[in-house]
Amino acid sequence: MRLVVALVLLLLGGTTAAAADGGPVGADLHVAQTVGERELTVVIRRTDGAPAPLRVDVVAHAGDPGGVIRVRAVPTGARAVSEAAVELRQPGPVGVSLSVDRFGAWELELDDGTHVARIPFTVPERITPAWERTAFGGFVAAGVFLLAALVMAPRGGRKALVPAAGVVASVAVGITAALLSATVGPKAVVDTGRPPVALAVTPDSEAKAGQGVWLSLDWYDAATGRPVDDLLVHHGALVHLAIISPNGTPTHVHPMRVGPGRYRILYKPAEPGRHAMAAEIARAGGGQQQIRAEVEVAPGTSQKSTVDNTGKVDTGAPVAGRPATLTADFGGPDDLQPWLGMRGHLILVGPGETLWAHAHALTSPMAGGQPDESVAAYPAKVSFTFTFPTPGRYRLWFQAERDYRILTLPAVVDVAPGGSPR
């Protein structure tokens, strides 16, 4: 019997992760980054181990200037290990192959010659949990003992009982480990929440109408004053920034990360005045939050702002406190593309600026992650449900994507007073 125990232990201890266990870990990372005048979506495909090739797709949108972007994979605390050039000629995706040589934290650098955006990503290592090793080991041991029992059985004698007992013991070990696996959670830390963030928006120079100005967005932890560098990619970007000009022209951009806690964006205000902005972020363990800020723009050469107006908006007659269905019909065929993983976006601001909201129309879930922008198959009509909390005048902007162009439909809605607000 000691022999049996020793064999079981040997088999359990000696089992390494089977090759079949080495499946891909993680998912594709979709990150929107506004690099200078380009609105890019970067798709970092999931890697299968390390060293491994790393596939990166850069999606350019209509209106982006052409040119070359250098893409580099940089492990933290080391130099770039691979570099490739992406030539952007027309809207759409361009794929490049890089390589990663180690597990852990990495940054993907996008270099347009003057500015470098740094997108953090992880090359995850697959760790085989103990229960999995035990379960596999148990069943392998059972197979070996079964063979031994079959060989010894015809020779008769009680010795065949030893491997037979081994089969029973190994199967018991394997089944117990497999059944208990559900109760063994991964070793995780409960991230109970993080302090709020403070946002400082600083223009490089005085913002003037008609001129592009670089804005620095610095994020600070409101409890410690330290830079916040734990922003998660949520809804396809690290930071979603909506800027509304005084006459109601919306800008929905995704500031590029240039360093820990620092993001930059090139903003072109069309007219002078107070440009209000709302940034949406998600901290690790801290949930999503919205931070409001503003930038004052001095008079300059005012330009007429352009907003696509092809399409219809149907809002019905919304009443405060009741869910309203808001439908944007972008017209044309049903070939809308998902933008930031969503069929449509709706930014609402009102009354005055007391409420600032951002609603989404979801795409249908897909195996292996969200559909990327190459899926041009979504209906031209996009509906949202939103409950206006208070009566008054709201400004709405519906956004969707077609042919890699971001479409924006503006609308104004007067919300009637309803019963008691919820």
Partner 1 sequence: MKPRGKALLAGVVVALVAVFAVIWTTRDKPVELTAGTASYAVRLTVDSPRIGGNAVLVEVTDLAGAPVVADEVTVEPVMADMGHALTPVPATAAAPGHYRADPTDLPMAGLWELTVTVRRDRASEHAVFTLVI
Q: Cβ 197 to partner 1, closest distance in Å?
A: 10
CA–CA dist 31, 312 (Å, integer): 30
What is the side-by-side strand order in the sheet with 67-75?
82-88, 67-75, 104-111, 116-123
Q: Cβ 22 to partner 1, closest distance in Å?
A: 23
Q: Cβ 122 to partner 1, closest distance in Å?
A: 12
Query: Residue 264 is inside which H or E element, if any?
Result: strand 262-267
Q: Can you read off the two tokens belonging to residue 168?
A: 């029973």
Bridge partner residues of 231 (DSSP): 283
Residue whose CB is less far from partner 1, 104 or 421: 104
**Is 256:263 a contact under the CB 8 Å cutoff?**
yes
Q: Cβ 291 to partner 1, closest distance in Å?
A: 16
Residue whose CB is less far from partner 1, 77 or 365: 77
- DSSP character string of 30-52: EEEEEETTEEEEEEEPPP-SSSE
CA angle (39 as vertex; 37, 41 as ends), nearest 5: 150
Q: Cβ 75 to partner 1, closest distance in Å?
A: 7
**Is 412:394 a contact under the CB 8 Å cutoff?**
yes
DSSP tag of 183? G
Residue whose CB is less far from partner 1, 174 or 286: 286
Residue whose CB is less far from partner 1, 86 or 119: 119
Residue whose CB is less far from partner 1, 186 or 368: 186
Residue whose CB is less far from partner 1, 222 or 307: 222
Q: Cβ 70 to partner 1, closest distance in Å?
A: 18
Q: Cβ 285 to partner 1, closest distance in Å?
A: 7
What is the side-by-side strand order in the sheet with 29-35?
29-35, 38-44, 52-60, 92-100
CA dihedral of residues 177, 179, 180, 183 (deg, nearest 10)? 150
Residues that bind partner 1 (CB under 8 A): 75-79, 104-105, 189, 191-195, 221-226, 229-230, 260, 285
CA angle (342 as vertex; 232, 100 as ends), nearest 5: 45
Residue whose CB is less far from partner 1, 65 or 193: 193
Residue whose CB is less far from partner 1, 262 or 360: 262
Q: Cβ 224 to partner 1, closest distance in Å?
A: 4
Based on DSSP, count helices (H) and strands (E) in the chain, helices before strands.
3, 23
